[in-house]
Amino acid sequence: MTNARTIAMYPEPGAWGPTNNLVAIGQVLRARGHRVVFVVEESFQSELERRGFEEALMRTSPPPTEEEAVGEAWSEFIRVTAPEFRKPTIQQLETVIMPIWGELVNAAKFSHDRLMSIWDDVRPDIVVSDNVTGFPAVTLAGVPWVRMVSASPLELPDADLPPVFSGYPTNDRSGWAEFAAEYARLHDPLIAELSEFNQSCGAAPLPPGQFQYESPWSNMYVYPLELDYQRAAPLGDGWTRLDSSVRTADAQFDIAGHVGTEGALIYLSLGSLGSVDVALMQRLIDALAETSHRVIVSMGPLHEQMRLGPNMYGEQFLPQTAILPHCDLVITHGGNNTIGEAFTFGLPAIVLPLFWDQYDNAQRVQELGYGVRLDTYGFDPDHLRRSVDELLADTSLRARMKQIASRVSGTNGQAAAADTIERILLDQ
């Protein structure tokens, strides 16, 4: 595309997963000569500039009295809520899922005027939104907008699929109806509240039972073909699946200089939010310290409170996409980005889900034989170590993962997304 356009990328405020997804797509668009502006929460200030993008800053709540760290509000929420993660997913609906939706609804209300002023300042030709919530400002920007879903496709409900956030298997409908009914009981009033606010701003009502709109221009979800679900009602022509959306590594990483070259290499990350549970992180570190494997640990903001074992290296933040291509196994919370990157680089996974759609991803990885789902807080260290050794020794699985990696890398999801965005711009 020859004419440079202005593209506003709006990831879910304070969340690294959607941000990294849009960074990957933004890198392609920027390389093609477009102006890419990230609309980000104030706590993310300079994070996107360091990656070469313009920033437009916003807030989803009143400013704190003290300086805040990147994503601090969500990290604090996770720290306080962590005891609830030990409960069955149906019980988490009221104590974890509903409070998160409540915060997101409040964010849509609080940020509306600022977002509208950002559109006036930035003057985008298109808005790309990776949010689970239908912000009315996105639909009222006066330009085409694209919906991105960097989360489990169970977010898009179907009669033949388990309810989102349940972590229930696809081949056993036990509990599906009960879970869906409890979800509706708790969340329908919140959906009605957001829908009423959106309409008061001039936006359309939300679809029944949904917190988000479907874009009339394009909707894309990020999920490897090998993990995707068979639906009773296929998604319409307005939907496109991307195998993955992997950003270019921010930095190089000297693996041999940190953990040597002998033995299998494991990457341990519970994500930017899960890493704040120091007790859980330390329990995993201690279990892996009794193996002969090399381990690289993404330690998060409380890294100074953790003790690494031999053959281990960790930092607060790591260039994950520079490290994973050299690994043999990933141990993860099951965030959509990390699962997608595991498939991009051909890695089996051990998944210890904490909240949101991580249970769904963990269940999907296990039921299709691409890894193991463990009880996050109740796992036995010996079981963890056996699972590591069994996955590392499974030559058939490793060969299958490498074949998948070759296919996924060849599809270049971030470039495919950029192509779609450019096609929309050409039609304007």
Q: What is the pLDDT of residues 12-34, one digit of tens each?
A: 998 888 998 999 999 999 999 99
What pLDDT, in 10s, does the model give residues 242-270? Answer: 998 887 766 788 888 888 888 899 999 99
Domain co-membership, 159 together with 10: yes
Distances in Å between the Cα of 55 and the Cα atoms of 11, 42, 90, 92 are 12, 10, 39, 35
Provide the pLDDT for residue 184: 97
Q: Are residues 389 and 265 in the same domain?
A: yes
Task: Provide the pLDDT for residue 352.
Answer: 96
Let me know whether 211 and 309 are in one domain.
no
pLDDT tens-digit map of 75-99: 677 667 778 888 999 999 999 999 9
pLDDT of residue 321: 86
231 with 364, same domain? no
Short-list 334, 300, 318, CA closest to 249: 318
DSSP 52: T
Residue 310 belongs to domain spanning: 255-410
Tell me whether residue 1 is in a domain: no
Where residue 277 falls among pLDDT bands split at 50, 70, 90?
confident
Token output for 180: 């869906």
Give yes or no: residues 142 and 290 share one domain.
no
Assess if residue 343 is contained within a domain.
yes
Count the domains in the chain.
2
pLDDT digits (tens, 9 = 90+) for 213-237: 999 999 999 999 999 999 999 998 9
Q: Is residue 63 part of a domain?
A: yes
Average pLDDT over residues 114-136: 97
Residue at 187 is within a domain: yes
**pLDDT(73) > 80:** no
Average pLDDT over residues 122-143: 97
Residue 71 has pLDDT above 80, yes or no: no
CATH number of residue 242's parent domain = 3.40.50.2000
Strand partners, 218: 146
Q: Would you place residue 388 in the very low, low, confident or very high pLDDT band (cuts 50, 70, 90)? A: very high
pLDDT-based confidence at 55, cuts 50/70/90? very high
Could you please report the per-residue DSSP string of 116-135? HHHHHHH--SEEEEE-SS--
In a domain, 311, yes or no: yes
Region 172-186 average pLDDT: 97
Q: Residues 6 or more apart from 313 whose CB is under 8 A from it? A: 258, 259, 295, 296, 297
Question: Is the pLDDT score of 162 beyond 80?
Answer: yes
The pLDDT value given to residue 259 = 84
The C-alpha atoms of residue 208 and residue 214 are separated, in whole angstroms, by 12
Give the integer Cα–Cα distance in Å for 314 and 300.
9
* 186: in domain: yes
Predicted confidence (pLDDT) at residue 209 exceeds the cutoff of 90: yes
> Per DSSP, which regions of 303-382 are E strands?
312-315, 329-332, 349-351, 371-373
Q: Does 300 lie in the same domain as 226?
A: no
The structure's pTM equals 0.92
The rounded radius of gyration (Å) of the Cα atoms in the chain is 21
Q: What is the mean pLDDT of residues 196-209?
A: 96
Looking at the structure, tell me whether residues 214 and 291 fall in a common domain.
no
Model confidence at 109, pLDDT cuts 50, 70, 90, reads: very high
pLDDT at 82: 77
Indicate if 360 and 225 belong to the same structural domain: no
Q: What percent of the chain has pLDDT over 90?
A: 75
Select the more confidently predicted residue: 67 or 288. Answer: 288
159 and 265 fall within a common domain: no
Mean pLDDT of the chain: 92
Instruction: Return d(Cα 108, Cα 134) in angstroms, integer.
Output: 8
Same domain? 290 vs 174:
no
Together in a domain, 204 and 268? no
Q: What is the pLDDT of residue 295?
A: 95
193 and 288 inside one domain:
no
